[in-house]
Structures are given as structure tokens and as C-alpha cells.
Structure 1
Amino acid sequence: MKKFLALSVLAALSHSAWADVNYSLTVTQPEHHLGNVSVEFPQTAQAHLDVKLPAWRTGRYEILNLANGVRFFEAKDENGKALKWKKVDASTWRVHLNEPTEVNIDYQVYANELGKRARHIDDSHAFIDASGFFMFSESFRQEPVTVKLDVPAAWRSVSGMDNAGSKHSFKAADYDVLVDSPIETGVNELRKFAVDGRDYELVIWGEGNYDVEQMLTDLKKLVATGNIIWDAYPYQRYVFMVHATSGAGGATEHLNSTIIQRPRDRFGSRKDYLAFISTAAHEFIHTWNVKAYRPEGLVPYDYTHINYDKLLWIAEGSTSYFEDHLMVRSGIATTDEFLDVLTKTVNRHLSSPGREVQSATATSFDKWINQGGDHARNYSTNIYSEGALISMALDIDLLEKSQGKQSYRDVHRALYNQYKMPHGFTATDVKTILKQLTGRDYGKWWANNVDAPADIDFEALFKKVGLVLTRPQDAKAVASVDAMAKNTGELLVLTHVRRDGAAWQAGLTTDDKIVAINKKHVGKDLELSLETFKAGDKVIIDFIRRDALQSTTLTLAQSFDKDKKLVADKNATAEQMALFKAWMGVEHPNLAKK
């Protein structure tokens, strides 16, 4: 890729002069999600110019085939004369040139993919990620760009990019900055604030049960926490974009901004609000981890192909891990709320058989094709939760062996200082940093926990910081089929069948419709239907598969009506409580409650 870019630069040198690439977007029929794009490329003497639309967007490691929304492609020279062109692959248009000329491109974009956070236009706004709208040429990728929007007069346009002379125009140093600086334009609410000499903006599109003042209060706390991990901030201005939607959810990090989407009624409760603000913490951390430094396989971004790397568990999982630290250290979340979140992550890990099969290295490499669903839970892990737990195990190991003087934060501080963009880091680089910090070789630890499925001893790990993972005393043993089901109104449909569990051994699988247990109709809740049974009982399960009634015999397994919970060890030693404080930056719960 680096060689390819170098050739592109040489090709660009044949241009008569360096000049901006100018983009414009006209929102033509917002109710039909349509806009027209024009691109002006500087003069070039090449025999042809390849223009491309990215096949994926940064922050989402999945081929999205974004060119599927392009229609009415046209190419003209600097005098307005039509140029011949042909499409050479799914995302590339080749424009043929007979003589040196500027190249002007026009096309229509259909933008109705809000949840993918790539492009969306309706009668109230447009969310513009350049990946979904603006074509580029490798020959001009490193040249300055401008963007001009033609939108309704009442709309407001906000971006991490600087304005370029008007309220609906922006400029960026090159295409890579453009593609990492989305624009929110429309009817929205905008608040501005400053913290520690840096400027921030909060722009919200859509009505919802959010409390803007609470958001501002906590965002001010959040953005002040960067120095907990890193020595400096990589931006002077940062934009939080929030969408209150009719169902779409998710978030994406960008160079000096983020877009966070939540259903409009999912901000009000404490649980929902914490989910929102912890997402903001996650994306804020990405400003360093991924945007300021990232794994070598993502440097530079190849916008039209898969960007393979085995360290996405650091890019995403370590970010998920640190978000809880910033939430607690800033005072936004309590220690009890942190322990509740960590409990769920650990329990989800322990109940997922895929943890025995796939390593963090493998799940990172396969992120682009991981299919999710029941099979993934049985045979795969994911870069987020698995990466977070491995990060935690490494962090506590570093803290314990250094008596609280060294932590995983030091590793990321070193990555930021030593491997700032445009350099990328490798697994060898991370292990080298670990050895530089500690004097110890982490090769064996890495082989056992990263390159192989991690086998974390949570009891021993949490004991080091004065915590215990225990089942509540009032928990009761219950019978289980080792499967999950959803109520469809009349029948229960299996959605997850645990590998090698009771239902699995009995031959049941996902999408089987459970009709009866021991010839008695199963109600709306599988657990309630098992209340009269105990572990070890053999039962007859009647179920429907391929529209035919079938039966199987199943031996019930043992489960509990309450999961294990992570709580403070009442007998924690002074040393363990001190390590907890070095870990989380706050007093151990035993001391905090005194």
C-alpha cells in the first residue's frame, strides 16, 4: 500500500499545478433521501483518472459496498465536454483523458443508511460521512479539499473540519481528514463549551428524553480525563454529534469528533443515560487509540479493501476497558455501577463457549467476516469484550508486579508517544514496550492469552484488587436446558443453544419452536415452564422444525436463578485495597463506605 501511494504521488506530480479538490453536495429531494454530488479534480496529464468511492468507512470493520447508492455518473473536462468512462470494479470509475485537463464528476447519491452512520438524508437533516458521499482519486488523495453544501436555509452545519468562508462550507488538509470528519447539517441543537483551553461542541439532531444540561455537565468532566492516560491531547477542538433516532443505535469515532446514535427514548433512565455517556467515553478514548495511533494493518487506510490486522482487540477492546476507568475517575459513574458493568462483561464471557475456541488474535483478523448470532457465540469471541478482559488481566498483572507503579495506561502512553500517525504499531512493538517498562519478557503471557484463547482465572485476578466474584446467598439452583428462547406470541423459538449443553446434546438447535415439555404446553417463559423440574430429570421436548412436529429426550442441566456478582471482599487486605486504588483511581469500596 505504501508503495502504491508513493506511485500515486509521482503520478500527481505530472499535474500542471497543485490545487484543491472541490466537493459540493446539493440536497435535492430530502424526502426521498437523494442528493447530488459534484467533484472538481485539478488538471492532470494522466491517460486516465480512476475515481473511487470507499467500500467501507473508518470505525466499522465491515465491507459496506457504499457505491450501491450511486447513480447518473457523468464526467466532463474543464470545458464542459463529456469524457468517456467505464466502471472497472464495484467501487471504481475510470475516466479516460485525451489531453491534460481538469476532471469534473457529477452523480446522484441515495442516502438512507442512518444506522450504518455512512450517509443519511431526510427532510430534517443530512449526516455526511465522506465515505458514503465523496469519491476520491489516489492521485489527489493528499491534496487539500473543500466541501460546499447546498441545503435548506434553516439548516445548521457542524463538523470537526474548519469552516471555509461560509456556514455551509468546510476545508480539510486532504481526503484522509475529510473522510474522518463527518458533517451534521440540519435542524439541530448546538451547545459550545471550553475545558482546559480546548473548545467543544455538542450538536443534537432529533427529539428525545435527553437532558442537555446533564450531558454538558458530564461531558465537561469526561474531556478533562485525557491526562489520566496520555501526556497530551491530539486536538484543539472536538465535536460530539448525537442522533436521537427512531431505532438506530451505535457510535463511531472520528479524527476530532464522534457520532453517537440512540433511540430517542433511551436517554432518560439512569441505566440508559450511563450507556450513552459511557459510549461518549469510548469514542473519546478513540481520539488517541485508533485516531492518533493504531495497528500497522490500518496504516494507511485502504478504503476499497479489507484492512487486516491481528490487534483490533487493542484498538477496540482496550478502548472498551478504559472507558470504565474514565467514567469512574471522572466521578460520572460510581464504583458500584462500574462493578455492575464489569460483572455483566465477565458473566457474558463465561457463558459464551466461543471463548474456548477463538483467540483475540484470530477474532481481530476475522472481524471483517465475523457473522454474529448463535454460531459466533459458540465458536467465536469479539474484539470488544474479549479485548477488554485481556486488557484488564494485563493491567492488573502490571500493577501487582510493580506494587502499583506501572499499569496498562503506561503502555498506551508509550504507544501514543512512539507510534503517532502515520506510523503503525505491531504486536512486537507492544511486547517491546512491555519489556522496556518492566524488564520482563511478556512473550509467554502473550502466547497464552492473546495468540491462544484466553483462560483467565477471574477469582485469582480479582482477589489481587480486593474483589470477589460470588453468587448471591439467596440464589437458588434451577433446572435448565442450556438454551435461550424468545416468545413469538404463540410459541417459544430457540435463539441460542449452548455448545455441548443439554439442548445441544438432545439435538435441538436455533429456530426450533418449543411446543411442550412432557406433553404439557410450554407457556410464554421457558424458565417458568421448568420450575417443577430439577437438574438431572429427563424430559420429553416436543418441538417444530421445518413445519413438522418432532420429539427428543433431554436431560436437564443445573443453573441458578441469579448470576455471580462482583463485590468488594470484606476481608480485603490493605495491600489489596491499595492495588484497587492504583487500578481504578478511587478508594476501595471498603474504605469508601467508611
Structure 2
Amino acid sequence: MKKILAVAILATMTNAAFADVHYSLSVTQPEHHLGNVRVAFPETAQVHLDIKLPAWRTGRYEILNLANGVRFFTAKDDQGQPLSWEKINHSTWRVHLNEPTEVNIDYQVYANELGMRARHIDDSHAFIDASGFFMFSDSFRQEPVTVELDVPKAWRSVSGMDNAGSKHRFKAADYDVLLDSPIETGINELHKFKVDGRDYELVIWGDGNYDVDLMLSDLKKLVTTGNIIWHDYPYQRYVFMVHATSGASGATEHVNSTIIQRPRNRFASREDYLSFISTAAHEFIHTWNVKAYRPQGLVPYNYTDINYEKLLWIAEGSTSYFEDHLMVRSGIETTDEFFAVLSKTINRHLQTPGREVQSASAGSFDKWINQGGDHGRNYSTSIYSEGSLISMALDIDLLSNSNGEISYRDVHRELYKKHKLPAGFTADDVKAILTALTGNDYTAWWQQYIDNPAIIDFDALLAKVGLSFELPEQAKAKPSLDAITKHTGELLTLTHVQRDGAAWEGGLTTDDKLVAINNKHVGKDLTASLEMFQAGDKVTIDFIRRDALMSTEVVLSKGFNMPKQVVANKNASAEQKALFKAWMGVDHPNLVAQ
């Protein structure tokens, strides 16, 4: 009898392997940000079926507790009869089964988290990331899926997934592809183009001061740059989704698309536009780095818990590093514009005391729990900026030691060749690639720059490629509190106090409100209030803390009214200029015919 039962269960599970999981979303109350979801799971003979909603979404390494928007959960069998269920943790519903049956579940989702880029519904659109809407079961995670939308007639639906017979119906190979293929449906504009035999779409939701023709022109340039690093493209069709918002901003990479959000009035100026298009470049690079190959700790994704990984600085920081390379090589960004961006990154790094405390590997591992704000800046590192600068240091080291023949691009080309999903790569894999490319052991380098706080000599590093990092000629010395302030009401409030800086040593901390310096009221401009002093002067600062007036003495430090800048060295040698071209793919700005 036991043998017969086992065969029956095996047969049921085998049949289920050829059955799709069907999802449907009905948007009937968009003005209230509500949607109704139905999921039909194939027949199963399990005693119970655990059904889950992800607790985070890919690309954002933070537990988001997405199940908090779910209400009115019900479960029924294939005859429409109710099934008993219980919620067993923050994002898992356990449905109990008395006999083999299909499992059909219904629930309502509240979707009003636009900036989270997981779910949003309003009267003009819905942005659907499966992590915020669609539950899954591990038992059927590898099965094909279909998604059907019931939305207002005037809405258009766009996704990196293939259509499945109608304009609001899509299909994917499995749940992982569904989760990595968001849908934008609503009142939007859609532009299609083809480059090198591959299909692209640009869909824009929201009015804004963007120039569609410029966006299309530069996106066409951008998508030709993949072979600068990799040997092929991992997609045949790719969708750029853009949200022009009332404040939400950010972006997320997906396997066949990206979603980019910007305030609707932040597209027109050159600085704002470069920020937009560099974000597009960043997400485009992720199509390889993260979506085609990624660190082992993220393979496969665990959607309901933290995915610890010490190489997020490669996943995100190296992506940030390469974005300007693609922009410069494609002609979208000038070298001067690149130098301005690099200057900001380096200055921000040098003004972040956390770089002396936390290593890139520790910052990667702790990304899920790292605090932001003042404490984060004083004691933590960013996987983005820190990882970008470490990537630059490694790239220039490789180039200079090989006379421009070997670069960090070669490392990522090898990662793509040898460690494509479903396998992940480790730190040892990266070091092995470095050794294979150069013949050198990078264990000591890794220890110095990755496993310990990285101390980068930017003067020596940039000099190798004919650049300098220096103060502008017009820069003037000024006294400084080594703090950042924000004007709130009639007073300036400290928002960042640099560890071991002047304000820090004087006992000031964030949220202190400055009242007076040497009995003179501090106005809206701290710089103006400090003009009468010199670096090294001891001043008395009156401030408010916990609604009480307090006082402290501070010794002012030395600062400058302008930050250091990356500039082309006018006296760069031919060797330095050659290395610059090998590095950036364009001529050194001061190239002179020899």
C-alpha cells in the first residue's frame, strides 16, 4: 500500500511539472492603490503548501516586509471549496490539503510604495514588480508562469516578458524570470527601436521636462557598448522603463529591463540629464554584472531572508565604475564631464571617515543592516562609491603593470565566460582570474584593499594615466567646522558632524541647532558667519540641544571654498597618455602630436 501511494504521489508531482502557475491582477480601485490578486497553483499531493511573498526585491539589499500590504487572503481547492490555512511567519501562508488538488488563492494588495519600486497603483498606472504582488511556492518555483492583467481599457502594458496572446497577458519560464521582469501598465508613451539586430523599448510614465529624442539618441549609443567589456549580449529584447515622478527617485536592474525614477523636473539641465543617462548605463551594465553572473551568496535568490555576500562591492561598485567608461566611449559624456563626476566621488570618499573603519568586504556583508545618516558616514562605507574607487584602483594597477594590455574589463569578461548563472562566483574565483590574466598572486592586494579599509593614494594612482587631483587655482582657504548644516526655521541644524573634526572635538553632534558664534547670531549661511575667523581660532558656539541653550568651545579647522578636482596633466608623458587611452578608450585631453 505504501508503495502504491508513493507511486501515486510521484505521478501527481510529475504531472504538475508540466502545468503552469497562473497569476492575475485586477485593478478595479486604482485611486485607492488597491489590486486583487489570484494565483492558481497546479495540482499537488502534499500535506500542505507553503505560499510566500518575497520579503525584499532584487537590487535593493534590504528587508522590506512586503507582506504588510496583503489582506483578505483566501484559499480554495479545484472544486471551489475553502481550504484551511494559517500564517506561519512574516511572509508565509501555509495551506492545508486533505487530498491532491489544485490550490487557488486570492488576496488584496495595497500598492502605494512608488519609491520602493516594488508596487504602485494609482489612477494613471500600475508598476508591478512580482516581489510586491505575486506569491510563490517553492514547490512550483521552477514551473512556467502566466500573468493576466485586468486594467482600464485605455491602459497599455509593457514588460520584458513575452506577450501571451493578448496585450495584457504575459508569460515567463518560471517564477524567477517573472520576479525579474516588472510590468508597467497605464497611460504611458512607448518608443521602439532596433540596434544591431536586438529590440529595444522606451516606455515613459508621467509628464516631465525630458527630451525624448535626446533620450532615444543616447540610448541607441549606449546599447552598442556591451562588447567593450563582454563578448556577447544576454538578451534579444530589452525595455527601459522611466517614471517621471513627484519626488520618488532611484533605479533597479532586471534581467530584461530596468526601471528608472526621477522627479519630473530633473531631466532638462545637462547635470540632471547626465545623472539620468548614467543611471541608464548603470542598469544596462547590470544586465551582465548581477543578472548574468553574480556572487555566490546571491545564487539562487532567497526571497524571504537576507542573502549575505561579501562581494556586493563588485556587484554594485564595479557597475558604478564602468558606467562612465561606457558613456565616454560612446560619446554621450565628455572627458571633462567624466572628470567632474570622478571628482565628486573621490571628494565624497575622502570626506567619509567610515572609509577608515569598514572594509569593502565588511560593508558588502553588512549592506542589509548598515545605517545611513551621520553614523553611517562616520563608521561605514558604501558598496557603490567605495566599490567604484577600488575598481578604478585595480583597473589602473592592471593596466600599468601590463603596458595597457590587461584591464579590469578582462576580469569581468572572464566572470561572464566562466561563472554564468546558475553558478555564482567567489572571492577565490576572482583572485584566480587575476592570477591567470597577470601571472601574479593578488592575495596581498586583496587583503590590503578588500579585507581591510582601503587607503588609496589618488595622486599616485591618477598620475599613472596622466591626471592630477588638485585644488583649483582660485580656491581659497577658509575656517571650517567639519560639519554639514541644514536651515530649519530660524536656525541651522547640524546634519553631519565629521568624526574627529572640529565640531566633533568640540562636543557638537547631529540635530544640534546653532544659535551664535562668539555671541553673534548664526544666520542662514554658516560660511558667512565664519568669515571673520581663521583656521586654528578657538570660538564659543551657543547651540540648542533638547530645547535647552548650551555652549561649547571649538577650534576651527582649515578647509577650502572649492573642492579638489580631477584634471588632465598638461605635462603628461606619452606613456601616461597611452595608458589613459587604454583605460578610457579615448585620447588624453592634452594629446599633442609627437
Superposition TM-score tier, normalisation by shorter sequence: over 0.9
CA distance in 2, matches of 1:209, 1:134: 34
Which whole-Å deviations, capped at 9, do the CAs of 1:69-122 have from their partners, x for residues lacking one?
A: 000000000000000000000000000000000000000000000000000000
CA distance in 1, matches of 2:122, 2:46: 39
Give the conservation status (yes or no) of the 8 Å contact 2:17–2:143.
no
Aligned to 1:6: none
Distance 1:351 1:22, change over 3 A: same
Aligned to 1:364: 364
CA distance in 2, matches of 1:577, 1:498: 37
Aligned to 2:535: 535
Aligned to 1:136: 136
Which whole-Å deviations, capped at 9, do the CAs of 1:323-365 have from their partners, x for residues lacking one?
A: 0000000000000000000000001101111110000000000
CA distance in 2, matches of 1:443, 1:164: 50
Which whole-Å deviations, capped at 9, do the CAs of 1:431-490 have from their partners, x for residues lacking one?
A: 000000000000000000000000000000000000000111221111111111111130
Deviates more, 1:527-536 or 1:14-23: 14-23
Detail structure 1 runs of 4+ shifted over 4 Å in the superposition. Answer: 9-12, 14-17
The amino acid across from 2:30 in the alignment is P
The amino acid across from 1:483 in the alignment is A
- How many pairs does the alignment contain? 586
CA distance in 1, matches of 2:10, 2:458: 55
SS in 1 for 2:469: strand
SS in 2 for 1:57: coil
SS in 1 for 2:453: coil
Aligned to 1:127: 127
Query: What's the offset of the Cα at 1:12?
Result: 8.1
CA distance in 1, matches of 2:593, 2:228: 24
Aligned to 1:349: 349
Write out aligned runs for 1:189-208 (5 A). 189-208=189-208
User: What percent of counterpart residues are identical?
Assistant: 78
Aligned to 1:293: 293
SS in 2 for 1:319: helix
Write out aligned runs for 1:100-179 (5 A). 100-179=100-179
SS in 2 for 1:303: coil
Distance 1:283 1:17, change over 3 A: closer
CA distance in 2, matches of 1:593, 1:468: 21
CA distance in 2, matches of 1:178, 1:511: 44
Answering whether residue 530 of structure 2 is matched by residue 513 of structure 1, we say: no
SS in 1 for 2:99: coil
RMSD of aligned Cα (Å): 1.3
Answering whether residue 257 of structure 2 is matched by residue 251 of structure 1, we say: no
Give the conservation status (yes or no) of the 8 Å contact 1:15–1:44.
no
Write out aligned runs for 1:281-430 (5 A). 281-430=281-430
Aligned to 1:456: 456
SS in 1 for 2:115: coil
Which whole-Å deviations, capped at 9, do the CAs of 1:212-259 have from their partners, x for residues lacking one?
A: 000000000000000000000000000000000000000000001000
The amino acid across from 2:27 in the alignment is V
Give the conservation status (yes or no) of the 8 Å contact 1:470–1:566.
yes
Query: TM-score with structure 1 length normalisation?
Result: 0.98
Query: What's the offset of the Cα at 1:10?
Result: 8.3
CA distance in 2, matches of 1:212, 1:411: 35
CA distance in 1, matches of 2:370, 2:14: 43
CA distance in 2, matches of 1:593, 1:207: 48
Aligned to 2:582: 582
CA distance in 2, matches of 1:281, 1:270: 16
CA distance in 1, matches of 2:86, 2:475: 67
Aligned to 2:551: 551
CA distance in 2, matches of 1:422, 1:92: 25
CA distance in 2, matches of 1:128, 1:298: 22
SS in 1 for 2:591: helix
Give the conservation status (yes or no) of the 8 Å contact 1:85–1:95.
yes
Give the conservation status (yes or no) of the 8 Å contact 1:12–1:140.
no
Aligned to 1:4: none
SS in 2 for 1:13: helix
The amino acid across from 2:490 in the alignment is E
The amino acid across from 2:326 in the alignment is L
SS in 1 for 2:232: coil
CA distance in 1, matches of 2:230, 2:14: 42
Aligned to 2:570: 570
Answering whether residue 238 of structure 2 is matched by residue 238 of structure 1, we say: yes
Write out aligned runs for 1:271-282 (5 A). 271-282=271-282
Distance 1:169 1:514, change over 3 A: same
Give the conservation status (yes or no) of the 8 Å contact 2:53–2:304.
yes
SS in 1 for 2:289: coil
The amino acid across from 2:52 in the alignment is K
Query: What's the offset of the Cα at 1:308?
Result: 0.3
Query: What's the offset of the Cα at 1:592?
Result: 7.8
CA distance in 2, matches of 1:419, 1:122: 41
Query: What's the offset of the Cα at 1:13?
Result: 3.0
Give the conservation status (yes or no) of the 8 Å contact 2:404–2:579.
yes
Query: What's the offset of the Cα at 1:16?
Result: 5.4
Answering whether residue 42 of structure 2 is matched by residue 27 of structure 1, we say: no
SS in 1 for 2:447: helix
Give the conservation status (yes or no) of the 8 Å contact 1:18–1:42.
no
Give the conservation status (yes or no) of the 8 Å contact 1:11–1:139.
no
CA distance in 2, matches of 1:409, 1:402: 14
Which whole-Å deviations, capped at 9, do the CAs of 1:491-512 have from their partners, x for residues lacking one?
A: 0000010101111111000000
Aligned to 1:525: 525
Which whole-Å deviations, capped at 9, do the CAs of 1:528-586 have from their partners, x for residues lacking one?
A: 10001001111100000000000001111111111111101111000000000000000
Distance 1:12 1:197, change over 3 A: farther
The amino acid across from 1:20 in the alignment is D
Aligned to 1:266: 266
CA distance in 2, matches of 1:548, 1:233: 62
SS in 1 for 2:345: helix
Distance 1:350 1:98, change over 3 A: same
Aligned to 2:222: 222
Aligned to 1:185: 185
Distance 1:220 1:10, change over 3 A: farther
